[in-house]
Every structure is written in C-alpha cells, then in structure tokens.
C-alpha cells in the first residue's frame, strides 16, 4: 500500500520519489519585497522536476480597490494551470519554499480546498534540502498536461462581510498570525495602517516552528492551539494575516496537530483596512 503524504514530508523522503511519475513538486519561493526574486532563484537551482508556482501569477488574482494584497485566485484559471502542470486525482503533490512554509502553505491550502488530499509540505523547505546535499537542477520541468478539474470549497474561507457581522455575533474567533509588533500597532512595515481587528487574538506563525525552522511536534502544536482550535468550541477559529497567505501556515500547523482544518479570512488585514470606517484596535488585547 502506497503511503500518502498529506501534511509534512521530509527532504530525504521526497528525494526517494523524484522519479515517480505520479508525484508533482512545486517550488513556491517568493519574496514580498521583490516579486521576481523567487522565480529567478528557481531558474538558478531547484529540486529536480519542480514546477515554479508564482504567488502573484498563479496563487492570487489581480488586486482591486476593495481587495487585499493577495486576493484568492480565479478558480478557473487556477484549475486550468494545475491541469497544465499535469495534476490528476492520483497525484502526490509536494510544495516547498525558502521561508519555512510561509509561502508554500498557500498552495497546500488551495489544493486542500479543491479537495486534493495528497499534498505535503517539505519540512524545513529549501534550506533542509540544501543542508542534506540532495540533488539540484536548473532545467524547467517538463509538463504533461492533464484533464484535471475541481471546484473550490467556499467553506474554507470567510469574507470581509462575515468578519464585520462577527463583530456582533462572535460566531468565530479570529486568530491573527502576524508578529506581535504588527498586531499591536507598534510597527507596520507593509500595510498603510497598523493594528488589528477588534476581538482578534494574536498567535504569531513563528510559534509553529522550532529554533531550526522545522515544524514543532504535533503534541507541541496541540498545546499551542488547544485553547482556540479544539473541536466543539462555540467559537470556531478563523486565521488571518496581512493578505491571506501566511495564515495558511497556521492552518497547516493546526491540521498537523490533529485538529479539523480551520477557515481563513481570505482578504485579511490588507483588505480590512481598505475601508477606513472599519474599526481598528491597537495593543495586545
């Protein structure tokens, strides 16, 4: 019986499957300050057979005056791109980046929302692959297009309108994964307004990792999220960040811990502050 990887995979495990025809590898390296850098690094060197997944071009749609910085991708375009890459229902997908999963988790989450179970994240990412002195390549992947089709489960995310309603209803608990400095309003290096949505709590995504950049154990992650992600809570968790991308890192961590997959506030902070009438809180409470 073949092993299905649906959360983490170690670099050594992936290395043993580079020649497997049913495996698809996606390089998700991306620099928010330089949108061309990730693809340039891919062209220099990548895991053999990896396909480059560009956060702006493939995993997000165009920014609008109402949206945040990384709106959800047009699902038809996303599915068509995945088909062009050769994805099938039988594919084992593996994603990696050089930011310890902060970018690659976006594609992991999107594939889960499309109903694809067999998708895993390389623990430690590009750095772990390099540290193990594993095979490298600079050639683009040879694609074998498929007839893949799927629909996005809209229950995987919430809209700004739902977040506004939640200010009164308290149906879910917003968990903001940005740094405490950004959450509190002490610093905001990316967006024009600092602070957080009233009622949200802060669990920085850095808490998901050990000092070496690997994900903490399931037991450690269970302890971290036990107070906000346990099944049966009256307020189910919804994760957010600056633009809906790195929130997926904490969604991944909670699934790794054994909890049900929580939702993401897709627009996140950068969409919330598009309307100055929406309330903003500062401080750590």
Active site residues: 241
Helix (H) or strand (E) run with residue 202 in it = strand 201-202
Phi, psi of 248 (to 5 degrees): -65, -25
Closest CA to 118 of 5, 253, 235, 42: 5
Q: Is the dihedral of CA 93, 27, 65, 280 positive or negative?
A: positive
Query: Is the Cβ–Cβ distance between 120 and 6 less than 8 Å?
Result: yes
Q: How far apart are CA 162 and CA 230, in angstroms?
A: 22
Query: Is the Cβ–Cβ distance between 196 and 202 less than 8 Å?
Result: yes
């Amino acid at each position: 019986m073949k092993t299905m990887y649906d959360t983490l995979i170690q670099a050594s495990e992936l290395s043993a499957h580079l020649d497997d025809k049913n495996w698809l590898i996606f390089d998700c390296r991306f620099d928010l300050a330089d949108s061309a850098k990730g693809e340039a690094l891919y062209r220099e060197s990548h895991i053999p057979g990896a396909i480059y997944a560009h956060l702006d071009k493939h995993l997000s749609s165009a920014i609008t005056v109402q949206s945040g910085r990384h709106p959800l991708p047009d699902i038809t375009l996303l599915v068509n791109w995945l088909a062009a890459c050769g994805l099938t229902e039988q594919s084992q997908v593996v994603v990696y980046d050089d930011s310890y999963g902060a970018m690659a988790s976006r594609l992991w989450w999107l594939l889960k929302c499309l109903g694809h179970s067999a998708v895993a994240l390389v623990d430690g990412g590009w750095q772990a692959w390099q540290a193990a002195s594993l095979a490298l390549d600079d050639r683009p992947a040879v694609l074998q297009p498929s007839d893949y089709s799927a629909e996005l489960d809209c229950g995987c995310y919430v809209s700004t309108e739902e977040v506004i309603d939640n200010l009164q209803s308290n149906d879910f608990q917003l968990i903001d994964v940005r740094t405490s400095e950004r959450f509190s309003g002490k610093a905001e290096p990316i967006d024009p307004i600092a602070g957080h949505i009233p009622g949200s709590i802060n669990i920085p995504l850095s808490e998901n990792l050990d000092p070496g950049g690997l994900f903490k154990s399931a037991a450690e992650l269970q302890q971290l999220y036990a107070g906000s992600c346990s099944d049966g809570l009256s307020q189910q968790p919804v994760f957010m960040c600056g633009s809906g991308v790195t929130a997926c890192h904490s969604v991944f961590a909670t699934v790794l811990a054994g909890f049900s997959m929580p939702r993401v506030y897709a627009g996140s902070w950068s969409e919330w502050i598009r309307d100055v009438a929406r309330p903003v809180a500062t401080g750590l409470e």
